[in-house]
Structure 1
Amino acid sequence: MGGFHSVPDDHQYRILSKKTGFSLEQIGILHNRFKHLSHNSDTLRRDDLYTIQDLKCNPIQSQIVEAFFDRRNFQVDGEGPVQEIGFEEFLTVMSYFRPLSVHMTEEEKEVIRRAKLRFLFNMHDTDNDGTITLEEYRHVVEELLSRSGKLGRETAKGIADAAMLEVASMSMGRMGPDEFYAGITFEHFLKILKGIEIETKMHIRFLNMDTKILCK
């Protein structure tokens, strides 16, 4: 995977900068992070990301890790998982967490917002079928609640089921007794999160970032 190996040169850095929006300095720092995590290899595997200590206590650890190996997040045609990624794929996925620039136009901000939301949608659409199903949504909510230590698994499951019904109501309106809610489509997802400033919440301070808290 990826077209860059070992240490990218200035020309390759500029190509990556244009694609991801990162500065050359940020790309250099993230390349060092990549080499640290991959033990100086040209490719990164899932096990490398699972070594990040702060990620181990994250209730959606597996979804975060899988997002780095999902072809849908590489900004190229294709879908399905890969077994390893190169620096270009790693940097592309990291770019979804890039904070907005004060110099961006409203149109540019909207493009980035939609890309961030598509990334989040893909993260929860684990079976890659274009919808976040009841089971997928329930799993995420259950994990978030049960790992808090305050609720048991059955209580968390009940809250997850109720939350899914609420989402269905927001997405589809009142449904008839014979209607079946298949799941959240991306357009429904956009509707549900309308008004939430995901652009300011979904970011990492790259220049001050320590390798061990890469995905915090």
Structure 2
Amino acid sequence: MLSVEIFKYCNFKKSVLIGSPCRMGCLCLRKSASYPSVPQDIMNTLKKNTALSRSQIKYLYIRFYQFSGGGKEPPSHLHKYNFYSGLLQLNPLLPTILNSMFGDKVKITFLDFAMFLSTFQAHSLKTSNELKNAMMDKKLKLIFNMYDNNKDGRITRYDLVIVVHKLFSNLLDHVQIMRIVDSMMKEMDYSDSNQILFADFCKALECFDMTEMMVTRIPEFHGRTTDELQ
């Protein structure tokens, strides 16, 4: 299914928010260095509401800290401009991903950042079915919102053109891009309304195990944090 292949490609583009710090032009995660510790209340919230391990939460907290520029104190929040650094700023889908992550917020906290990325986390055998289902529903809504450019609750042909153009404008001409858009509309417009509603979107993907598709493997951090040095 063409639409699913596009979604997979989008997930690859999204994963660079997590991936190799050196690739990102950020600070390296050296085990010999010390990093800020995750506040205990945030650690408890994420352990309760996600399948993230303590070491994965530590890793994401350090990534959040690095996006701020790596100052003396960990930041309380980040703005969109903080993510335009290193190779990440070359990602054509970065604005789309950030719009989905930020929603209508001007700035996000670490909890917002970690909750967003945990939605796409690869599950382990310890993950409960209840949490898997909750994450699957949230994942579908977030991916839908990545395509819903003006956030009006529907994906129009124009919305698809924007995303496909961002992905393939350097590889395909306008005619080829429109053919892809037409194919996606034909595959997913179950309501026959010349637009893709959320129900259409879910129906198009219901034959796939969304708990196993479009996942991102979040690394674990086993170095030292400031609290552990005291």
2:60 corresponding residue in structure 1: 30
Distance 2:176 2:219 in 1: 41
1:18/1:207 CA distance change after superposition, 3 Å: same
Deviation at 1:57, TM superposition (A): 4.4
Runs of 5+ in structure 2 lacking a partner? 1-35, 222-230
2:197 counterpart residue number:
185
Residues 5-25 of structure 1: CA deviation (Å, up to 9, x unaligned): x85432431123212332222
CA 1:134 to 1:23, structure 2 compared with 1: closer, same or farther past 3 Å? same
- Given the superposition, is the C-alpha separation of residues 8 and 58 from structure 1 closer, same or farther in structure 2, using an over 3 Å criterion? closer
Whether contact under 8 Å (1:142, 1:160) holds in the other structure is no
Identical counterparts, % of pairs: 28
Offset of 1:32 from its aligned partner? 0.8
**2:80 maps to amino acid:** R
The residue number in structure 1 matching 2:144 is 121
2:213 to 189, 198, 201: 201
- Stretch deviating more after TM superposition (10-19 or 24-33): 10-19
Which residue pairs with 1:142 in the alignment?
Answer: 165
Which of 66, 74, 81 lines up with 1:47 in the alignment? Answer: 81
Unaligned runs of 5+ in 1: 1-5, 71-80, 210-216
Q: CA deviation at 1:189?
A: 0.6
TM-score between the two structures when normalised by the length of structure 1: 0.73
Of structures 1 and 2, the one scoring higher in RCO (CA 8 A, sep 6+) is 2
Partner of 2:96: 63
Tell me, in whole angstroms, the C-alpha distance in 1 between the residues paired with 2:181 and 2:205.
18
Q: CA deviation at 1:90?
A: 0.9
Corresponding position of 2:18: none
Offset from partner CA, 1:99-135 (integer Å, 9 cap, x none): 1121345454333222211110111112111111121
State whether residues 92 and 166 of structure 2, in contact with CA within 8 Å, keep that contact through their aligned partners in structure 1. Answer: yes
CA distance in 2, matches of 1:108, 1:20: 7
Q: How far apart in 2 are the matches of 1:202 and 1:161? A: 23
TM-aligned CA deviation for residue 89 of structure 1: 0.9
The residue type paired with residue 200 of structure 1 is E
Contact 1:138–1:164 (8 Å) recurs in 2: no
Contact 2:148–2:155 (Cα < 8 Å) also in 1: yes
Question: CA offset at residue 29 of structure 1?
Answer: 1.5
Distance 1:144 1:51, change over 3 A: same
Whether contact under 8 Å (2:161, 2:181) holds in the other structure is yes
Q: Distance in 2 between matches of 1:9 and 1:60?
A: 31
Deviations 1:119-171 (A, max 9, x none): 10111112111111121122222333323x2x212331243234323432xx1
Partners of 1:10 and 1:162 in 2: how far apart?
Answer: 48
Aligned length: 182
Aligned-residue RMSD, C-alpha: 2.4
Aligned: 1:161 with 2:173? no
**TM-score between both structures, scaled by the size of structure 2:** 0.69
